[in-house]
């Protein structure tokens, strides 16, 4: 816990920690030019010289970076897609998914004319599926009303589905190098440590923005807004980590109040989170004679909205007993069959644990596709993770039986 409450007087004091001759943005961008992560959606701040035995001088940038803001900009479509995928999702997870997605939909026009089911299918396993539905809707709006081009202001971007405060600012800075104050989880942490901000998140967010505004490059055409934002995020993920920050390697430690007079690990302060309840339910995995499984398209809103899933009961905290009695199972099953119990699939969502009892059956017929569910070859089904786990229970069951 922070040992002491912050106040504005401390902050003004703090800005004089570093020598007046040094500027945070200069130091950070200098670090970024040498240490920027190589990411599929990113244009490197400068070409990397990978040839061996050549110039090892790393301090090539000594003058003002006047032309830096005019280096090649990334494709706005790529920036937008990556930012949507990166919402609450790690760079390691997004990397390969981003490349696969781009291969399937090279431009926003391809994306806009594709069926939404193809887009949610490609999103399977990534989570937060409203992102996929909003992504598709946003593409259609941009093609229909914006000539397929992204607006360059935060205000206009925020009107689009799936684009909120962070993503609007990120696109404005990264794709167009316009001024916008970007505040994500990484930058929140860096800023909270710079100012040793004791107000807990999420209430601290506007305060942190105010703090950071003192350091953000002015709305100047020469300024490197996009690189500054990405540098802060790289710093947050690689140096100013939640635990065990590498302060000795930090290019802006001279500006950091937590590094100098506190414990960086204590920031940002966050409100305690509620503990997760456990819900229970039943899922039915049934194969037809061709080896296909019955899947239903879930409602467009709510959990796993618009995704494929197994027929089953709802998921409830009050239903304590897995119904093992065959008579009751037959009453709630999607169709008549000899149902076997295949065990539990365990999964944890953002706000609850799930224990799903899995029942399995094999038919010797091929029922028609109905309004409620369709038959799909298992290994081609684009399923959310919890449903993949249920399918795995079924697969294990028949493997052990054989």
Name the residue among 242, 169, 161, 164 with its Cα closest to residue 201: 242
- Residue 94, classed as helix, strand or coil, is helix
Question: Which one of 24, 108, 112, 126 is in contact with DNA (CB under 7 A)?
Answer: 126
Question: Which one of 25, 83, 197, 227 is in contact with DNA (CB under 7 A)?
Answer: 83
Active site residues: 83
User: Binding of DNA at residue 33 (CB under 7 A)?
Assistant: no
Place of tokens 């509620």: 274
Phi, psi of 372 (to 5 degrees): -85, -35
Using the rule CB under 7 A, give the single segment among 21-29, 79-87, 335-343, 357-365 that binds DNA: 79-87
Give least dist CB 85 to DNA, A. 9
Preceding peptide of 235 cis, ω within 30°: no
User: Binding of DNA at residue 347 (CB under 7 A)?
Assistant: yes
CA angle 396-399-402, nearest 5°? 150
User: Binding of DNA at residue 100 (CB under 7 A)?
Assistant: no
How many residues touch DNA under the rule CB under 7 A: the total is 64
User: Binding of DNA at residue 386 (CB under 7 A)?
Assistant: yes
User: Binding of DNA at residue 95 (CB under 7 A)?
Assistant: no
CB of 41 or CB of 359, closer to DNA? 41
Question: Which one of 34, 78, 128, 374 is in contact with DNA (CB under 7 A)?
Answer: 128
Note the helical H segments in 175-290: 185-195, 205-213, 225-238, 257-261
User: Binding of DNA at residue 222 (CB under 7 A)?
Assistant: no
Question: Which one of 33, 197, 227, 234 is in contact with DNA (CB under 7 A)?
Answer: 234
Q: How many residues in the chain?
A: 402
Are the C-beta atoms of residues 356 and 390 closer than 8 Å to each other?
Answer: yes
User: Binding of DNA at residue 254 (CB under 7 A)?
Assistant: no
Are the C-beta atoms of residues 228 and 216 closer than 8 Å to each other?
Answer: yes
CB of 128 or CB of 339, closer to DNA? 128
CB atoms within 10 A of CB 168: 22
Using the rule CB under 7 A, give the single segment among 12-20, 289-297, 370-378, 380-388 that binds DNA: 380-388
Name the residue among 364, 356, 350, 366 with its Cα closest to residue 394: 356
| Residues 48-77 contacting DNA, CB under 7 A | none
Largest CA distance in the chain: 80
- The β-bridge partners of 286 are 361
Give least dist CB 242 to DNA, A. 4
User: Binding of DNA at residue 262 (CB under 7 A)?
Assistant: no
User: Binding of DNA at residue 154 (CB under 7 A)?
Assistant: no
User: Binding of DNA at residue 140 (CB under 7 A)?
Assistant: no
| Residues 175-204 contacting DNA, CB under 7 A | 184-186, 188-189, 203
Using the rule CB under 7 A, give the single segment among 55-63, 147-155, 245-253, 342-350 that binds DNA: 342-350
User: Binding of DNA at residue 125 (CB under 7 A)?
Assistant: yes
Are the C-beta atoms of residues 242 and 189 closer than 8 Å to each other?
Answer: yes
Name the residue among 125, 193, 130, 187 with its Cα closest to residue 164: 130
The encoded tokens of residue 361 equal: 């059956």
User: Binding of DNA at residue 14 (CB under 7 A)?
Assistant: no
Name the residue among 94, 111, 102 with its Cα closest to residue 75: 102
Q: 107's torsion region: left (phi>0), alpha (psi -120 to 50) or beta?
A: beta
User: Binding of DNA at residue 368 (CB under 7 A)?
Assistant: no
Place of tokens 């997760």: 276
Using the rule CB under 7 A, give the single segment among 17-25, 36-44, 68-76, 250-258 that binds DNA: 36-44
Are the C-beta atoms of residues 361 and 385 closer than 8 Å to each other?
Answer: no
User: Binding of DNA at residue 86 (CB under 7 A)?
Assistant: yes
Are the C-beta atoms of residues 185 and 241 closer than 8 Å to each other?
Answer: no
Strand residue runs (E) in 20-126? none
User: Binding of DNA at residue 296 (CB under 7 A)?
Assistant: no
Question: Which one of 35, 69, 75, 89 is in contact with DNA (CB under 7 A)?
Answer: 89
Question: Which one of 237, 260, 263, 395 is in contact with DNA (CB under 7 A)?
Answer: 237
Site of interaction with DNA (CB under 7 A): 37, 39, 41-42, 82-83, 86-93, 125-130, 134, 158, 161-168, 170, 184-186, 188-189, 203, 230, 233-234, 236-237, 241-244, 270, 272-276, 302-305, 347-351, 384-386
């Amino acid at each position: 816990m922070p040992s002491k409450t912050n106040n504005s007087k401390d902050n003004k004091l703090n800005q004089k920690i570093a020598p007046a001759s040094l500027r945070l943005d200069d130091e950070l961008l200098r670090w970024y030019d040498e240490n920027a992560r190589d990411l599929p959606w990113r244009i490197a701040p400068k070409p990397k010289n990978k040839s061996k035995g050549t110039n090892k001088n790393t301090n090539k940038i000594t003058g003002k970076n006047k032309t830096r803001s005019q280096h090649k900009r990334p494709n706005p479509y790529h920036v937008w897609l990556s930012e949507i995928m990166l919402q609450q999702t790690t760079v390691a997870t997004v990397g390969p998914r981003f490349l696969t997605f781009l291969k399937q939909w090279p431009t926003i026009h391809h994306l806009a004319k594709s069926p939404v089911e193809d887009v949610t299918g490609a999103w399977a396993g990534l989570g937060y599926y409203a992102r996929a539905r909003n992504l598709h809707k946003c593409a259609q709006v941009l093609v229909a009303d914006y000539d397929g081009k992204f607006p360059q202001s935060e205000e206009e971007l925020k009107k689009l589905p799936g684009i909120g405060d962070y993503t609007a600012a990120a696109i404005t800075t990264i794709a167009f190098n316009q001024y916008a104050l970007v505040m994500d989880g990484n930058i929140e942490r860096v800023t909270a440590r710079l100012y040793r901000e004791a107000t807990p998140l999420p209430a601290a967010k506007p305060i942190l923005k105010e703090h950071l505004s003192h350091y953000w490059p002015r709305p100047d055409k020469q300024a490197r807004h996009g690189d500054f934002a990405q540098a802060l995020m790289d710093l947050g993920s690689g140096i100013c980590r939640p635990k065990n920050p590498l302060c000795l390697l930090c290019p802006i430690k001279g500006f950091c109040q937590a590094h100098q007079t506190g414990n960086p690990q204590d920031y940002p302060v966050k409100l305690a989170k509620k503990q997760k309840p456990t819900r229970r339910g039943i899922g039915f995995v049934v194969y037809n004679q061709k080896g296909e499984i019955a899947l239903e398209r879930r409602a467009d809103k709510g959990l796993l909205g618009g995704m494929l899933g197994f027929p089953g009961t709802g998921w409830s905290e009050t239903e304590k007993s897995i119904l093992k009695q065959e008579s009751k199972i037959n009453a709630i099953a999607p169709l008549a069959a000899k149902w076997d119990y295949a065990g539990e699939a365990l999964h944890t969502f953002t706000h609850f644990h799930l224990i799903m009892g899995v029942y399995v059956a094999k038919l010797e017929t091929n029922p028609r596709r109905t309004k409620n569910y369709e038959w799909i070859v298992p290994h081609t089904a684009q399923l959310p993770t919890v449903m993949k786990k249920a399918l795995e229970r079924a697969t294990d069951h028949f493997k052990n039986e054989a």
